[in-house]
Amino acid sequence: GRAADQPRAELLLGRLYYEGKWVTPDAFKASWLHAELFASRNFGVAIHKYGAIKGGAFNFIDQNIFGGKLPFTLHDTTPDYACLKLAADSKKIDYPKPDGKLSFDKLSSVFLSSTNHEEEQPCHLKLTDPSIPISKNLPLYDEPAQRYCPAGVYEVITKEDGE
């Protein structure tokens, strides 16, 4: 999120904001974070390409035998937006209400995970046209941003007049 707010001079110099300071791409590549991200680079692509069973088997071998260091990287040739189905063509999932014993609501789950963020942080998402989520995404796709974050950060609020 912070990379989106980098001053332009830092971007022109090719620097990234990482762990509270500006670093060069080479310094980032030497970090533990880069190592973790690199080791898991094939995970999602394997599931998308090969399905849950074969992709899961691929990931098991990649992580447990090769330690995430396969000599190649899988590439997802279909962009994410092309996989989004219209709400009218999709079956609505009615999840059972959380029971508070085995299943919990999203906010309780985030609390139990000890995730902590300071309140009133500047928004790191910049929309070119802020009307699109409600005018286009809501009627066509039931506004998928509502499901991006498990904490329910992105929500569509209906006004008293039904709008």
Q: Which residues contact 54 (CB under 8 A, 6 or more apart)?
A: 46
Q: Is 42 exposed, middle or buried (0-12, 13-18, 19+ CB in 10 A)?
A: buried
Identify the band that residue 5 occupies on the pLDDT scale cut at 50, 70 and 90. Answer: very low
pLDDT, tens digit (0-9, with 9 covering 90-100), for 23-82 = 778 878 888 888 999 999 999 999 999 999 999 999 999 999 999 999 999 999 988 889
Inform me whether the pLDDT recorded for 8 exceeds 60. Answer: no
Cβ–Cβ < 8 Å for 145, 137: yes
Identify the band that residue 1 occupies on the pLDDT scale cut at 50, 70 and 90. Answer: very low
> Which residues are bridge partners to 17 per DSSP?
22
Per the prediction, the chain carries an average pLDDT of 83
Give the residue, 143 or 161, on which the prediction is more confident. Answer: 143
Tell me, what's the pLDDT at 3?
Answer: 47
Q: State phi, psi for 22 to the nearest 5 degrees.
A: -85, 130
